[in-house]
Structure 1
Amino acid sequence: MHKKQIIQAGKDIKDAKKVLIMLHGRGASAEDILSIASYLKVNDFAILAPQATNYTWYPYSFLMPPKQNEPWLSSAIEVLKEIVKDINEQGISSAHIYFLGFSQGACLTLEFVARHATRWGGAVAFTGGLIGDKIYPENYSGDFNDTPVFIGTSDPDPHVPVERVEESVQVLERMHAQVTKKVYKNMGHTISQDEIDQVNKLIFKD
């Protein structure tokens, strides 16, 4: 199972008013995803990047039935719950907690915030969608209360179908998230400069 192994950057959490949780993709590391922070307007943030056991949050495609990715998926969700609880106990409200993930980390980002919908600071999914062989609406309740969410993806993408991105946007919007979706023709499985510009404008704007 996953352990709470976290690499920290940015401000010390005791001195920060905002926290960004960054989730790496399959086969990558916490250090990899942290390298993106230098392109973001997050100078005032404490930044936390948890490390997945064996560099993967769950073993199979996010489009498999969820039970096939257990117990790893539940363990990943639990680690994030613990991190959020730790941050809250430092006196930082959920409205000042932000999430960002790429690929598998983007899927985990969206799945976590949708299962625990509240007024978050914001969420960024660079190429991801809600997890499962189909959408399981019973997993998602709560109200985002206008939380800004950015989802960017390529059309096509080798791992994340645009259809699942569209379905995920619908779920999040029903729960009152303010979603910005951008689909880039033939971008490939990567993060583009335009996506960075978008999240700096929409999510990290203040």
Structure 2
Amino acid sequence: MHTKNIVTAGKKTTEAKKALVMVHGRGGSAEDILTLANYLNVKDYALVAPQATGHTWYPYSFLMPPAQNEPWLSSALDVLKEVTADIVADGIAPENIYFLGFSQGACLTLEFITRNAQQYGGAVAFTGGLIGDQVYPGNYQGNFGGSPVFIGTSNPDPHVPVDRVKASEKILKEMGADITVNIYNNMGHTISQDEIDLANKLVFR
């Protein structure tokens, strides 16, 4: 399964008041996703990026039945749980912990925070949705307490259907997230400047 391999940047978690957990996509790396911080209002944050073993968090599409992505999916969720616990142990409260992911990392990010909903600093999902062949409301518990969440995605996207983004939006909203979803026509599987601007305006404010 995944070994806990963490790359950090920015301030140390023991010195910062806020932390951002950055989750890379399939085939990506912790170093790659950390470069996104250059475009975000996070200069005073501790930046924490876990590295997936084999550069992928789970083997198949996020739209497969969850059991088919096990045991890798549970292992990936455990890594995020450990990372979050470590940040809290270093003195940063959950309401000052932020999450960001792209593609497979965005799906994992949304799945993790929704399974463990509480008041976080906020979350950004660049092209992602909740994981499974369908949405499983029974997997999710807690309340976001108004935490800002931004999801940006393309219509169409080769990996993430818009209907799953909207279904995810509904769940998070019901669980108390202050959620904003922006759907971009034919943007492609990438991160746009408009998404960066909205992430800064809505979450890293």
- TM (norm. structure 1) is 0.99
C-alpha RMSD of the superposition:
0.4
For structure 2, the 5+ residue unaligned runs are none
- SS of 1:165's equivalent in the other structure is helix
Superimposed CA distance per residue, residues 54-92 of structure 1 (whole angstroms, 9 cap, x where no aligned partner): 000000000000000000000000011111111111111
Superimposed CA distance per residue, residues 108-150 of structure 1 (whole angstroms, 9 cap, x where no aligned partner): 0000000000001000000000000000000011100000000
Q: Which moved more, 1:55-64 or 1:76-85?
A: 76-85
Alpha-carbon shift at residue 15 of structure 1 (Å): 1.1
Report the AA paired with residue 72 of structure 1: W
Alpha-carbon shift at residue 3 of structure 1 (Å): 1.1
- SS of 1:123's equivalent in the other structure is strand
- TM (norm. structure 2) is 0.99
Aligned to 1:36: 36
1:105 matched to 2:94? The reply is no
Report the AA paired with residue 78 of structure 1: D
Aligned to 1:47: 47
Report the AA paired with residue 151 of structure 2: I
Q: Distance in 2 between matches of 1:193 and 1:108?
A: 22
What's the % identity of the aligned pairs?
66
- SS of 2:105's equivalent in the other structure is helix
Q: Distance in 2 between matches of 1:185 and 1:197?
A: 17
Q: Distance in 2 between matches of 1:83 and 1:29?
A: 16
Report the AA paired with residue 169 of structure 1: E
Runs of 4+ residues over 6 Å off in structure 1: none
Aligned to 2:14: 14
Aligned to 1:58: 58
Q: Which moved more, 1:4-13 or 1:156-165?
A: 4-13
Q: Distance in 2 between matches of 1:13 and 1:140?
A: 28
For structure 1, the 5+ residue unaligned runs are none
Correspondence 1:155-194 to 2 at 5 A: 155-194=155-194
Q: Distance in 2 between matches of 1:127 and 1:65?
A: 19
Report the AA paired with residue 191 of structure 1: I
Aligned to 2:25: 25
